[in-house]
Structure formats: C-alpha cells, structure tokens
Structure 1
Amino acid sequence: MSKTGAKISFFEDKNFQGRRYDCDCDCADFYSYLSRCNSIRVEGGTWAVERERERERAFACRCPQSGGQYKIQIFEKGDFSGQMHETTEDCPSIMEQFHMREINSCKVLEGAWIFHELPNYRGRQYLLDKKEYRKPIDWGATSPAVQSLRRIVE
C-alpha cells in the first residue's frame, strides 16, 4: 500500500475474479493492463473512476487530495458573476441553503469537492479539485444542474 494508504484494485471478471490490476496512484489508462473491468475493490483512500463516454467503460482513476481545510465559492452565473455564496461545509440542497437553482461557475479554494446533480447527494457526480471552473463544461457537466455538494473527507 502507498504512503497515504490509498489502494484500489480492478478485476476483469465480476465478484473480484480474473486478472487483477492494483493501483496506489493516479492512472490515466489501466486498459494497458486489463482488457475489461467488471469489478472494483477500494482497499484504502478515496478514488474517482472515470468512464470513457463513447464506450461506457471505466478507463482512468485518480486519488483526489482530501483532508485539511475546505472552502468553495459557487456562482449563479458563468465566469464568476451573479450571486455568490461561500461554504466550508457539505450542502444537501443548494436551493434550500443558498436559494440558487443552479451553479454556473465556482472556485474551489481549499480541498476537493463533489457536485451532485440532484439534492441529497444523488444523481450524476462531478469531482472538483482546487482550481477555478468558469462554466459547467470545465467540471465535465453538460448543464449547470447542481443541487447538492459535499467535501471529500476521509
């Protein structure tokens, strides 16, 4: 296991069977090691596994930095304009807490965060590392539909 204790294992077959690939750091393309992935076991840390949109198969993984301080600024409009709110805590409903219908841009000032498409941490998820996101496509979304957000903590 790595110094941080992060480890994830990918298996070609269901129920953790078949060929296996172990990873303790970011991996841009584990298909050079496996022909397919039908089960995943997280043995330590927090991981994001991304899918290749065209073929709907997992192809990359990364271990976002978590812990310490958390701070995010969310904006009603793109390019950091319109109404702005700042938080350091999880938010199960941006409508209830901030009276916003959507998020069009944000600045992750500290920590790593997950945006959720629906309230109460449901729906499609987007991982955001510490940086500025001028529009939804910058965090991988096709629309500004974000209804809840949470910190990545271990």
Structure 2
Amino acid sequence: MKEQQGSPDQLPADKGQGETGAIYKLVIFESENFCGTKVELSAECEDVPEKTRVGSVIVESGPWVGFERPGFAGEQFVLEKGEYPRWSTWTNCHHSYRLSSFRPLKMVSIINHKLHLFENAGFEGRKMEIGGDDVPSLCAHGFHGRVASAKAISGVWVGYMYPGYRGSQFVFERGDFRHWNDWGAAAPQIQSVRRVKDMHWHKKGCYVAPTPTTPNPKPSPNPKPLTHPQS
C-alpha cells in the first residue's frame, strides 16, 4: 500500500457468462432458510417480479451484486458464492429489507488486484494505492475516511462506509470513478475495502465476516439495587 500526493423465473444462461466464459447462477427464495417460492437467475435482472420477496439467497456461481431498488439502484449488496439464509448474512446495514434487482460481477482471473483512492473528486488530493490486500481500516494507514474519487485498476473491489467491512457497500469494477456519485454514494466516505473473490479462482469462495473476539458480558447473578441521589 502506498500513499502519495496527487492532483423472470429462468433467464438464459448465455447472457450470464463472465469474461472467461464462466456461467453465473443465483437462486432467490421467498422466505428465510431457502423456503417458499424460488426464482433462478443466470443473467442480470433489472426488476424482480413485483410481489417477490427475497428472504434468502444461494449463489451457485458468481459473484453477484444485489440492489435495493429496480434498475440497479439504491443500496448495494455483494453476493459471492455461498448460502445466505437470511438478510443479516449479506449485510449489517439495515436501511432496507428489499432486494429488487441483480446483476453478475464480471470477473477475470488475475494475480494482482489494484485500487487507487483519492481524497478529492477528479482524482485530486491525497492518494492511496492498494494492491493485493484487503484493508479493514483505511484510518490505520493514515487515510481518514474521505474518498471522493477512485480508479479500479484491476480486480473487483467493494468499499464500506465504516471500518471492519461494515455499513453501506459500494462496488468498484475496473474503471474510473471521478465522483462519489459514480459508485452510488451520497457522501465521500469509505473506511474499509476488500477484494471480491469468486470460487472459480479462489477455493475459499464466499467472504465470511469475522466473528467478534470479545464475548458478551454475563449479567451479575446478584445485581445491586439502583440508588437515587438525595434531592
């Protein structure tokens, strides 16, 4: 890492192929734990049927990105290969409980991932170069949260509003993003980033959020009664 100063029910499979010919497949279920009516997707879907509620998801091959609103708009949720039995398994940002459109993320087999982040719009101000590693906290590297433009040089990345891969998600596919609106954000805030992986090239497959290392404190068996100060 470097810092520097800078200025339908079944969609046709052939349209779901990645750049290397990989076939994409995602199954959405009406209820949690893969129950109820299911719909299979193998290509982008701009608007799931109006009454279709997405309670759980299985990504058989991917990765994909789901959106809160039709037409690939609203909150974004990255879905890598694996099972998502309920809402909390694909996000910890509960602004919305609806997924209304999906599209596959086009992946290529590469060794080196590279992403450039800029403090100001138009690729101006301080610059941070990220290559090959996930970054759970930009602040830990002296880059304090403000990201107003970006260049995804290689690979697919997802940025998060808060450290530890928490909060709203923003996808960076290869290309230039001159302004934070270009990646669907309402403010220039990103505090952690990671690479999007696919089982085709990464045997571990789906990203799994780390579990807390500190257990929840146990309540006292003999709590003391509350006392109120004398008036």
TM-score, normalising length: structure 1: 0.86
Identical-residue share of aligned pairs (%): 29
What do residues 42-73 of structure 1 show as CA deviations (whole Å, max 9, x unaligned)?
222222111025x8521111221234142111
What amino acid is aligned across from residue 9 of structure 1 in structure 2?
V
Deviations 1:13-52 (A, max 9, x none): 33322221111222222226x6332222222222211102
Aligned length: 153
In the alignment, what sits opposite 2:151?
107
**Equivalent residue for 2:55, pick from 34, 38, 42:** 38
User: Residue 35 of structure 1: SS of its match in structure 2?
Assistant: coil
> Do residues 130 (structure 1) and 174 (structure 2) align?
yes
Match of residue 197 from structure 2: 153
Matched, 1:73 2:90: no
Any idea what SS the aligned residue of 1:142 has? coil
**Structure 2 residue 62 is the aligned partner of structure 1 residue 62:** no
- Checking the alignment, whether the CA contact within 8 Å between 1:91 and 1:150 is kept in structure 2 is yes
Unaligned runs of 5+ in 1: none
User: Which structure features the higher share of strand residues?
Assistant: 1
Query: For residues 138 and 118 of structure 2, what CA distance do their matches in structure 1 show?
Result: 11
Q: Distance in 2 between matches of 1:150 and 1:14?
A: 27
Preserved contact between residue 8 and residue 23 of structure 1 (Cα < 8 Å): yes
8 Å Cα contact 1:112/1:128 also seen in 2: yes
Q: Please say which of residues 12-21 and 68-77 is displaced more in the overlay.
A: 12-21
Q: Distance in 2 between matches of 1:120 and 1:137?
A: 23
Corresponding position of 1:141: 185
1:27 has 2:45 as partner: yes
Residue 150 of structure 1 deviates from its aligned partner by 0.8
Q: Does 1:94 align with 2:138?
A: yes
- Secondary structure (helix, strand or coil) at the match of 1:30 reads coil
Deviations 1:112-137 (A, max 9, x none): 11001111211111111111111111
SS in 1 for 2:181: helix
RMSD across aligned positions (CA)? 2.2
Q: Distance in 2 between matches of 1:98 and 1:71?
A: 18
After the TM superposition, which segments of 4 or more aligned residues of structure 1 sit over 6 Å from their partners? none
CA distance in 2, matches of 1:76, 1:90: 19
- Higher-Rg structure is 2
User: Which structure 2 segments of 5+ residues have no match?
Assistant: 1-12, 75-95, 199-231
Q: Distance in 2 between matches of 1:103 and 1:152?
A: 19
